[in-house]
């Protein structure tokens, strides 16, 4: 075959793969979630607030457009849980579970667009998607509308680092609509506001700046809601330890060494009570983080992308730690309350992918090795670790409804198990 013909054939094959990449990565993502937690697909459940608060209140006729729970307004959660009240009761958890999966799949579509724009090979994009699907912080986020607000923030991340200069017509209107919905769906999206404004200013991107203004309006609304609905368990009492250790443990150590392995590290450091050992752990994890930042910035085609990823990686988890409900010392963990750090893991992995894609061999090999370690960690913890049980084991919603045998009201259980998450079912 003539060299030019061979090159043209290769280019056509690559174009075909790029066209199908969102579908291929989506299948991989859903397949790994199904392998990780088949029961959540086959026998869906309500997770915490989506059952006890959202569904429980909406079944009584409250409006999804005005519902505020625990000082938090989440439009998309309200709407999905409202849809759950419109189907037969035994199918309600299917709506919330698969509604959340739809949002997560949209994040993968957006990531796929980013990976194509930046010249990532399909194998590296697939590796990143696999890590996203299997990381410890995702166990609390996926397949539940309770925490879909963190998926909204991830979707905004990939919207923020992508180029939309060629977007026109209906697609452009849909993008603006989605960002507006995210702006009204929890605090994580509000924290993304300065990222869009900075990107719009640095790159002179009108669309990013306008999207930032939409998020700014949503932020003002969210701040007003927080002020009008104060939460006594939002302590706002930061310390150096709670503002740094959780970030390093949950966004750097946990993806590398599994959630359970990071818990062992925390236990070991507490047992030693050694300042030298603690300092060594800080230095080692900080060096990994610094490598991801420096290597990706040095070789990135678009430096602004790395700046945005770095800002989100540091800013969003830190602000969420500051405003976390309850005792923030519990965040010093490999997986507990991992939702606050989920977007940080996504940023860390994406930065490693950038470094592995364009760096010199001396940098590319360590970046690829770290990605491979993170993938192996995710695969391992999908089958090992007692901590997973809280998120993956519990009563099926449809079986609970069947056990009520038509009695109303009937007490039912949302996950995690325990009296704190029970509520009365009134709907037939």
DSSP string, 323-371: T-BS-GGGGSSSSTTGGGGHHHHHHHHHHHHHHHHHS-HHHHHHHHHHH
What pLDDT shows up at residue 361? Answer: 86
What pLDDT shows up at residue 139? Answer: 95
What pLDDT shows up at residue 173? Answer: 94
**SS3 helix, strand, coil % of the chain, rounded to 5?**
75, 5, 25
What pLDDT shows up at residue 33? Answer: 98
What pLDDT shows up at residue 235? Answer: 60
Residues in the chain: 428
* pLDDT less than 50: residues of the chain: none
Cα(193)–Cα(178) distance, rounded to whole angstroms?
A: 14
Cα(428)–Cα(187) distance, rounded to whole angstroms?
A: 34
What is the signed CA dihedral for 412, 414, 420, 424, rounded to 10 degrees? -30
142: nearest Cα among 20, 45, 261: 45
Interior/surface letters 280-299, b for 16+ CB within 10 angstroms, e for the rest = ebeeebeebbebbbebbbeb
Q: Please state whether the peptide bond connecting residue 416 to the residue before it is cis, i.e. omega within 30 degrees of 0.
A: yes
What pLDDT shows up at residue 11? Answer: 53
| Beta carbons of 422 and 413 less than 8 angstroms apart | yes
What pLDDT shows up at residue 41? Answer: 96
What pLDDT shows up at residue 71? Answer: 85
What pLDDT shows up at residue 13? Answer: 55
What pLDDT shows up at residue 353? Answer: 96
What pLDDT shows up at residue 94? Answer: 96
Cα(199)–Cα(161) distance, rounded to whole angstroms?
A: 8
């Amino acid at each position: 075959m003539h060299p030019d013909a061979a090159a043209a054939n290769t280019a056509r094959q690559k174009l075909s793969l790029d066209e199908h990449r969102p579908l291929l990565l989506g299948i991989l993502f859903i397949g790994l979630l199904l392998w990780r937690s088949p029961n959540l697909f086959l026998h869906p459940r309500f997770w915490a607030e989506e059952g006890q608060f959202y569904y429980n209140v909406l079944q009584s006729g409250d409006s999804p457009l005005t519902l505020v729970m625990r000082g938090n307004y989440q439009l998309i959660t309200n709407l999905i849980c409202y849809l759950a009240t419109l189907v037969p009761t035994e199918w309600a958890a299917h709506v919330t579970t698969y509604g959340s999966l739809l949002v997560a799949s949209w994040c993968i579509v957006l990531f796929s667009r980013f990976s194509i724009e930046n010249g990532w090979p399909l194998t590296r994009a697939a590796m990143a998607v696999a890590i996203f699907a299997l990381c410890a912080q995702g166990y609390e986020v996926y397949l539940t509308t309770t925490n879909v607000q963190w998926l909204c923030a991830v979707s905004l991340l990939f919207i923020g680092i992508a180029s939309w200069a060629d977007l026109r017509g209906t697609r452009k209107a849909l993008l603006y609509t989605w960002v507006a919905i995210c702006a009204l769906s929890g605090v994580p999206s509000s924290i993304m506001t300065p990222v869009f404004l900075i990107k719009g200013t640095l790159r002179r991107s009108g669309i990013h700046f306008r999207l930032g203004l939409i998020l700014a309006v949503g932020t003002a609304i969210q701040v007003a809601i927080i002020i009008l609905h104060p939460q006594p368990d939002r302590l706002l009492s930061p310390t150096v330890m709670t503002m740094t250790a959780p970030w390093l443990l949950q966004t750097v150590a946990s993806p590398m060494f599994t959630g359970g392995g990071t818990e062992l590290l925390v236990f070991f450091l507490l047992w030693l009570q050694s300042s030298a050992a603690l300092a060594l752990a800080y230095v080692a994890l900080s060096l990994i983080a610094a490598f991801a930042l420096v290597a990706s910035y040095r070789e990135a085609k678009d430096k602004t992308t790395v700046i945005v990823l770095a800002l989100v990686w540091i800013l969003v988890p830190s602000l969420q730690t500051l405003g976390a409900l309850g005792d923030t010392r519990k965040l010093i963990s490999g997986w507990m309350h991992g939702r606050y750090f989920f977007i940080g893991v996504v940023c860390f992995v994406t930065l490693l992918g950038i470094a592995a894609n364009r760096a010199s061999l001396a940098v590319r090999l360590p970046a690829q090795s770290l990605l491979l370690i993170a993938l192996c960690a995710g695969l391992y913890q999908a089958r090992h670790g007692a901590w997973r049980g809280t998120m993956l084991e519990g009563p099926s919603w449809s079986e609970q409804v069947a056990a009520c045998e038509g009695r109303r009201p009937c007490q039912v259980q949302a996950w995690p198990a325990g009296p704190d998450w029970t509520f009365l079912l009134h709907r037939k």
